[in-house]
Structure 1
Amino acid sequence: MTPDPGPPRSKARFGVAGLDDVLAGGLAPGRVYLLEGNPGTGKTTIALQFLQEGAARGERGLYVTLSESEAELRDGAASHGWSLRPEISVFELVPPESLLDADQQQSLLYSSDLELGETTRLVFEAVERNRPSRVVLDSLSEIRLLAQSSLRYRRQILAMKHYFARHGATVLMLDDLTTDAQDKTVHSVAHGVIRLEELAPSYGAERRRLRVIKYRGQAYRGGFHDFAIETGGVRVFPRLVAAEHRVAFTRSRQGSGIVELDQILGGGVERGSSTLLLGPAGSGKSLLTLQFIAATVARGEKAALFVFDEEVGLLTDRAKAMGLDLAAMRNAGGLLLEQVDAAELSPGEFAHRVRHSVNSAGIRTVVIDSLNGYQAAMPDERDLILHIHELLQYLNRQGTTTFLPIAQHGLVGDMKAPVDVTYLADTVVLLRYFEAVGRVRRAISVIKKRGGAHEDTIREFRIDGRGITIGAPLDSFQGVLRGVPVYIGTSGPLLDDLPA
């Protein structure tokens, strides 16, 4: 008769922010897992967090180190502000003195035979003494060197796996990939495999990401997930999957506070939609988005502005000169204003920031200024489109209205955007410079709106100390969007002709 295994044990959580989400709750207990990555990718930090989380749950932990001294390990923990809990034991495995003494070395047997067996015996003895629920073995590179052959290495790993299985311990084996990065021996033996990677861009801080390569009998969040090593441990930013997030909301229209602008937009933009503002530098894209932020705050809702391209202090001063007091909105709690450094922030971390602001602060309008700065965080255009697609879909399904300014190359004539994402946006607003009556002027038009009808006219608009002024349709001009219009009539006055 088969004995009753008892109730299933709960998963062994890592205690690493975001990683348990990727692993659908953590690791299945009583199994052997592989955490691999080049030196400096954060394996030791994650392993320590794994043991600290177990200790917080009353589980004993054992850290077996073959490549790092106990003092170095504790110093590394201290750098994150940790003091290893008393439930965690550190076993520093060093070769026996006889193996370091040249006079006592064996001449008839390979020294590796003795060292590998001795190493394994010492590890097992440490497990017998401590009876841990969680074990970290750091690192497999040392065991691979001692084994000297793939067959002996595989047999040794299998023997250790069966030993740990009898004790019911959850084991995390670390591999720094310094001896043979192509060796997949442990991949077939381990219950799950997590790989850490570090990328070095041509400019800016290094980027780190992880991927779950294997997890037997368990669904997990696939693909690459950005992560960062910070004081206090590793933080993982799970890849955003918009389909997993949806809330019920009413698709009402949101106005800008400017009657003429709302008329062009067919009454405003729909809640839970995205608006792309295309135009050359200085054409007024940012100011138009600020107008929608001011209208959101005036309705008693919250807005968020993520600034890539401009220093926040300068933007605040410039907006105040136009009658928009961003500092007052922020101080009143209506506006979340963040400066984003594209060289220091990974795309995954930025998406996490946006998601956190929407979830925790109830943000209803998000402005990412600009898409050019967002692109600088990920030079690969294909990846940019995928990131933007998921982020916009997520925000739309949360009932959050999004505005994305994007600067086009050039000032007049034929202009192109650095990346074409117009098909992703629900509304596209086009801004242009044009020349008329000896002056450089601005024009605005809406070329796409999925949520309903909109004006197909082209209007002049002006930016001054009073803010934005939008004139009547430019019926007397043809070729405004090309930048050099032709005068064809007498109707449709320019803003110069209107009373101040």
Structure 2
Amino acid sequence: MDTETGITLTARTGVPGLDEVLMGGLAEGNIFLLEGAPGTGKTTIALRFLITGAEAGERGLYVTLSETEKELRSGARSHGWRLSDAIDVFEVVPPESLVDAEHQQSLLYSSDLELGETTRTILGAFERVRPKRIVLDSLSEIRLLAQSSLRYRRQILAFKHYFSRSGATVLLLDDLSSDSNDKTVHSIAHAVIKLEELAPAYGAERRRLRVSKYRGRQFRGGYHDFAIRTGGVSVFPRLVAAEHRSRLDRGSISSGVSELDDVLGGGIERGSSTLVLGPAGTGKSTFGLQFIWAALQRGEKAALFVFDEELGLLFDRTRQMGFDLEAMRDAGGLHVEQVDAAELSPGEFAQRVRACVDDAQAKTVVIDSLNGYQAAMPEENALVLHIHELLQYLNRQGASTFLTVAQHGLVGDMRAPVDVTYLADTVILLRYFEARGHVRRAVSVIKKRTGGHEKTIREFQIGANGLTVGPALNDFQGVLRGVPSFVGQDTPPDVGIAPNDDD
């Protein structure tokens, strides 16, 4: 705390996203607990915390009871970091009398001597360095030396009062290896950050963190996904759409196909969400690409996130329909990204979408498909919440979002793997139907919150010229069931538009 102003100063951790979760960082002069099983990233976060302090001119001390100094410096180098002279690494090693069996004492409990000597060694290192930031790794060793909950609590309290007098910010690491249910330090620490690692049935491990307490400070609650990669830990704060509001000049945007705009009642409202629903192969991706092409023609930027198709095949396929996605990407107007659902958490995906809208100013976002997104989030309830927050955020930033969902089945009664129709502002329904020995495609709009739309069903085709939409199928009934019947007065005409031999 600044004694002149009475304002609590904040020590930034330097971990991307973590300071946002902590609403600024760690309050200076306090003791903090960072706990998690081995491999969850505690050491990486602690090293970044000290390096950030050193960059700000603050001296740091890393006290290790479990790892060697060589291991710590090697871990830092693996992330491209170098521990500067402003960071001291103090390795607490057992005294020779405790290693040599001939010198083992028997009249006193060895734990009494070990804990006392370890404490004196740590405090001696602190007095020599006088750091502004200190990391103590790990509490499991001290818990084992204390042997009782009372002694352990008293020892941590002693550390807290000692370090607080010097104004140092202390980060305690606990790997939970000696007692995962011990909450002794939770009531002592100023804040508690818990790291977790989840192992799905298939795919890479998923990591998340949660701040369970922070005295006198607001923080972003709930679970936040994070990843450990070369360069350190990156945290992806949980998206809260209500925190992001902006005034928008909304208006209709065209698809670039006049007949489709007629079906949509003049187009799509800017900053709205559209769900394209239908069985596999009906052209859901093409509808999304049509709006991307129209956005680029208006001079806007767009983003396409592909879960289900390899990019090389996508580029070749869409080039035959008149959409040269590769050229659009190379020109800088289109961001195309293939998403591996087995390797990416929903939090990181949302962060990537946000970056396209916030940094690259993309005004049209296509997510193809929600089925692939569901694979990244097996829990359906959580998936709906993620989608809700993401759509609300994109809408408030003025970005028009298009989601595709593949329904189970080809004709007749079909169901989607997850129902998000109530979240979307507009729902476009695609269907197969059979007529005169040909399999045709039909499109209709079953929902639009922002204005009227056609109640008709139209046939459409996908060919070398892209998307072609025909007139309304007024003389036929049962198109959405897959096998229509003629209900007109005259001889049944050919349905819709002429069949495309290339389709």
Look up the match of 1:93.
Answer: 92
In the alignment, is the contact (CA less than 8 A) between 1:272 and 1:402 conserved in 2?
yes
Equivalent positions of 1:45-444 (< 5 A) are 45-444=44-443
Rounded Cα–Cα distance in structure 2 between residues aligned with 1:170 and 1:412? 64
**Deviation >6 Å, runs of 4+:** none
1:79/1:499 Cα in 2 relative to 1: closer, same or farther (>3 Å)? Answer: closer
In the alignment, is the contact (CA less than 8 A) between 1:62 and 1:89 conserved in 2?
yes
User: Is 1:6 aligned to 2:7, yes or no?
Assistant: no
Q: Which amino acid aligns with 2:151?
A: R
Identity %: 72
Rounded Cα–Cα distance in structure 1 between residues aligned with 2:98 and 2:319? 75
Rounded Cα–Cα distance in structure 1 between residues aligned with 2:105 and 2:315? 76
Instruction: For residue 496 of structure 1, report the CA deviation from its aligned partner.
Output: 4.6
- CA distances 1:338-361 after superposition (whole Å, capped 9, x unpaired): 111001100000000000111101
Rounded Cα–Cα distance in structure 2 between residues aligned with 1:31 and 1:138? 17
Rounded Cα–Cα distance in structure 2 between residues aligned with 1:134 and 1:269? 54
Rounded Cα–Cα distance in structure 2 between residues aligned with 1:410 and 1:10? 59
In the alignment, is the contact (CA less than 8 A) between 2:296 and 2:333 conserved in 1?
yes
Instruction: For residue 103 of structure 1, report the CA deviation from its aligned partner.
Output: 2.0
- CA distances 1:377-430 after superposition (whole Å, capped 9, x unpaired): 011000100000000000000000000010000000000000000000000000
- CA distances 1:317-343 after superposition (whole Å, capped 9, x unpaired): 111101111112111111111111001
Rounded Cα–Cα distance in structure 1 between residues aligned with 2:486 and 2:398? 44
Instruction: For residue 498 of structure 1, report the CA deviation from its aligned partner.
Output: 9.1
> SS state of the match for residue 433, structure 2?
strand
Look up the match of 2:495.
Answer: 494
> SS state of the match for residue 78, structure 1?
helix
In the alignment, is the contact (CA less than 8 A) between 2:458 and 2:496 conserved in 1?
no
In the alignment, is the contact (CA less than 8 A) between 2:460 and 2:497 conserved in 1?
no
Instruction: For residue 296 of structure 1, report the CA deviation from its aligned partner.
Output: 0.0
In the alignment, is the contact (CA less than 8 A) between 2:472 and 2:496 conserved in 1?
no
How well do the aligned residues superpose, as a CA RMSD in angstroms?
A: 1.3
User: Is 1:35 aligned to 2:29, yes or no?
Assistant: no
Q: Which amino acid aligns with 1:6?
A: E
User: Is 1:475 aligned to 2:474, yes or no?
Assistant: yes
In the alignment, is the contact (CA less than 8 A) between 1:283 and 1:442 conserved in 2?
yes
Q: Which amino acid aligns with 2:277?
A: L
Instruction: For residue 495 of structure 1, report the CA deviation from its aligned partner.
Output: 3.5
Deviates more, 1:95-104 or 1:304-313: 95-104
Instruction: For residue 471 of structure 1, report the CA deviation from its aligned partner.
Output: 1.1
> SS state of the match for residue 340, structure 2?
coil
TM-score (norm 2): 0.97
> SS state of the match for residue 26, structure 2?
coil
Q: Which amino acid aligns with 1:5?
A: T
1:260/1:142 Cα in 2 relative to 1: closer, same or farther (>3 Å)? Answer: same
Instruction: For residue 277 of structure 1, report the CA deviation from its aligned partner.
Output: 0.4
Rounded Cα–Cα distance in structure 1 between residues aligned with 2:411 and 2:496? 20
Rounded Cα–Cα distance in structure 2 between residues aligned with 1:492 and 1:400? 42
Q: Which amino acid aligns with 1:264?
A: V
In the alignment, is the contact (CA less than 8 A) between 1:473 and 1:492 conserved in 2?
no
1:110/1:302 Cα in 2 relative to 1: closer, same or farther (>3 Å)? Answer: same
Q: Which amino acid aligns with 1:139?
A: S
1:499/1:147 Cα in 2 relative to 1: closer, same or farther (>3 Å)? Answer: closer
- CA distances 1:250-289 after superposition (whole Å, capped 9, x unpaired): 1110101101000000000000000000000000110011
- CA distances 1:188-243 after superposition (whole Å, capped 9, x unpaired): 00000000000011111111000001100000000000001111110000000101
Instruction: For residue 493 of structure 1, report the CA deviation from its aligned partner.
Output: 5.0
Rounded Cα–Cα distance in structure 2 between residues aligned with 1:288 and 1:376? 23
Instruction: For residue 494 of structure 1, report the CA deviation from its aligned partner.
Output: 2.1
- CA distances 1:102-145 after superposition (whole Å, capped 9, x unpaired): 22222111000000000000000000000000000000000000
Rounded Cα–Cα distance in structure 2 between residues aligned with 1:492 and 1:208? 60
In the alignment, is the contact (CA less than 8 A) between 1:472 and 1:493 conserved in 2?
no
In the alignment, is the contact (CA less than 8 A) between 1:427 and 1:450 conserved in 2?
yes
1:347/1:13 Cα in 2 relative to 1: closer, same or farther (>3 Å)? Answer: same
Rounded Cα–Cα distance in structure 1 between residues aligned with 2:216 and 2:445? 51
